[in-house]
Amino acid sequence: MAHRDQTQLNPVDTHPVMLGSLVPPSGVKPLNFSPGPTSLAAEVEAAIKALFDAERMCSMYLSHRSPEFLDILASVVQRCRVAMEIPDQYEILCMHGGGHGQFAAVPLNLCPKGDEKATYLVNGTWSKRALSEASKYCRPIVVSSENPDGTFTHNPSFAHLDPESRYVYLCSNETVNGIEMHQLPKLGIKAPLVVDASSDFSTKPIDWVGCNVGVLYACASKNLGHPGVTLCVIRKDLLGTPSKHCPGVLCYTTNVREGNLWNTIATFNVEVINIYLQWLIAQGGVHEMERRSIAKSAMVYNLIDSSEGFYGTPISDPSIRSRMNVPFDVAGGDEETTRDFLIQGWERGIVGLRTLTPFGVGKYLRASLYNGVSEHQVEVLASFMAGFMKAARAKRAYP
Ligand SMILES: *Cc1c(COP(=O)(O)O)cnc(C)c1O
């Protein structure tokens, strides 16, 4: 599939990096800037490996109803509550189905009749996908910032939202487009916020009550662990009225009632989140993650902004630039220079800048700077980018 997509773009280019490979030449240590799934911090990876040497059985084989696993599950919920300062009026679930499962779960849980109005703020590819899935289960009101050419470069207006909406949906970090809400908006209407925080959860604090958050979810594969589990935070007053068509596996009410064990939970992936959160708290918590995210993304944006056009990024307004995913082009998207850039980076272990997405490849590369990417790794990337620019300018007389 991936191979076919790529050959359409460029029928002859079979260099691994042009096919989206994440494996650098043998002997070179990978620096993974992939948009997800992605590497976890080295300490987290080491702790996961150690699970297999531990005396107790690793959660991969533990019954989800055993006391050992129940301890792990309780610990995830507790650590998540502490790390993200989640008030008691919210339930925390580890669910199946990924972000896409939640695109459907949200209306199926919040719109019992199936024709209720729900406002969708669309500021990029993921919120657009969520909207298309939700339109099967509710009556979406669309507030979109899509440009006529299909790109997204700003947020839609938050003014004059329909007060009768059951909820207002938004994506706090558009992973593909590079647009982030560094703080959630305070909309001043009764309808609760529903937030897709799949790619920015745990990287900045959340004002749960002040911003009227009703539901927030994050698939684990960017900033929490590995694919296979999705963290959902649900305000208790929104439980109890799912659509009768809501599958049990996506139903917040059923899963809360059954202590998150209505069916077999993804035991191992849940334990990975437990280790991840333990690491995050030990590092200084979400405020430290935010400090690092600001520092890491500034290294890349500063380099782009001072490159006099050699590198470009589509989002000009710094207040909405994503700290997680930095899209950039090389020499205005020039194919040969971009290819040189990718191959030279790959030779140094820099991988994941060009991955295949369901939304196509496009001219932009993307550096994803999740919590698992260290400040030092971003320094290596920025210094490679600076060196490449210098060499390319010397060779080809770029402006
Ligand atoms: C990755 C991502 C998703 C998709 O999640 P799946 O687990 O692949 O279904 C949804 N929303 C955002 C913002 C993402 O970054």
Domains contained in the chain, CATH given? 16-34+285-395 (3.90.1150.10), 57-282 (3.40.640.10)
Q: What is the pTM of this model?
A: 0.95
Match 């050992």 to its residue by tokens. Answer: 68
- DSSP summary character for residue 146: B
Query: In this predicted model, what pLDDT tens digit does every residue of 265-274 receive, in sequence order?
Result: 999 999 999 9
Residue with CA nearest ligand 1 atom 5:
99
Nearest-angstrom CA–CA distance, 280 and 287 = 10
Give the distance (Å) from ligand 1 centre to CA of residue 308. 33
**Residue 8: pLDDT band with limits 50, 70, 90:** low
Catalytic residue among 128, 204, 222, 296: 222
Mutate to test the pocket of ligand 1, among 125, 217, 219 (most ligand atoms within 8 A of CB): 219
CA-nearest residue for atom 14, ligand 1, is 198
Mean pLDDT of 136-165: 95
Give the distance (Å) from ligand 1 centre to CA of residue 37. Answer: 10
Q: Is the CB of 196 under 6 A from ligand 1?
A: yes
Neighbours of 236 (CB within 10 A): 12
Stretch among 47-56, 69-78, 241-250 having the lowest mean pLDDT: 47-56
pLDDT of residue 68: 94
Annotated catalytic residue 244: no
Phi, psi of 181 (to 5 degrees): -95, 105
251-265 pLDDT tens trace: 999 999 999 999 999
199 pocket-lining for ligand 1 (C-beta < 6 Å) = yes
Tell me: the pLDDT tens digits for 296-343? 999 999 999 999 999 999 999 999 999 999 999 999 999 999 999 999
**Cα 232 to ligand 1 centroid, rounded to whole Å:** 13
Best probe residue, ligand 1, of 175, 176, 216, 368 (max atoms within 8 Å of C-beta): 175
List all residues 6 or more positions away from 195 whose beta carbon is below 8 Å from its beta carbon: 169, 170, 171, 172, 184, 213, 215, 216, 217
pLDDT score recorded for residue 320: 98
Confidence of residue 397 (pLDDT cuts 50, 70, 90): low
Range 152-157 average pLDDT: 96
- Indicate if ligand 1 lies below 6 Å from the C-beta of 102: no
355 lines ligand 1 (CB under 6 A): no
**Cα 236 to Cα 14, 233, 252, 317, distances in angstroms:** 52, 9, 10, 36
- pLDDT score at 363: 82
Residues of the chain above pLDDT 70, percent: 95
Kindly state the average pLDDT of the residues 230-254: 98
Average pLDDT, the chain: 94
**Could you tell me the pLDDT band of residue 344, with boundaries at 50, 70 and 90?**
very high
Residue 19 pLDDT:
87
Whether 7 has a pLDDT exceeding 50, the answer reads no
- The predicted pLDDT at position 262 comes to 97
Residue 12 binned pLDDT confidence (cut-offs 50, 70, 90)? low
pLDDT tens per residue across span 193-218: 999 999 999 999 999 999 999 999 99
Residue of 128, 196, 208, 296 marked active site: 196
Which residues lie across from 180 on neighbouring strands? 173
Residue 249's nearest CA partner among 126, 133, 69, 93 is: 93
Residue 13 clears pLDDT 90, i.e. is over it? no
**Ligand 1 close to Cβ of residue 219 (< 6 A):** yes
Q: What is the per-residue pLDDT for 2?
A: 42
117 is catalytic: no
What number is the average pLDDT over the span 245-255?
A: 98
**Strand 193-196, strand 311-312: pairing:** unpaired
* Segment 121-135, tens digit of pLDDT: 999 999 999 999 999
Q: Is 13 a catalytic residue?
A: no
Is 98 near ligand 1, meaning CB less than 6 Å away? yes
Query: Which residue's CA is the closest to the ligand 1 atom numbered 3?
Result: 99
What integer is the mean pLDDT of 184-199?
96
- By mean pLDDT, which of 40-54, 167-181, 357-371 is the weakest? 357-371
Alpha-carbon distance of 365 to 228, in angstroms, equals: 26
> What is the CA(219)–ligand 1 centre distance, in A?
6
Cα–Cα distance list, 216 to 82, 88, 192, 202, 319 (Å) = 16, 15, 10, 12, 22
Nearest CA to 235 out of 349, 327, 106 is that of 106
User: Coil, helix or strand for 311?
Assistant: strand
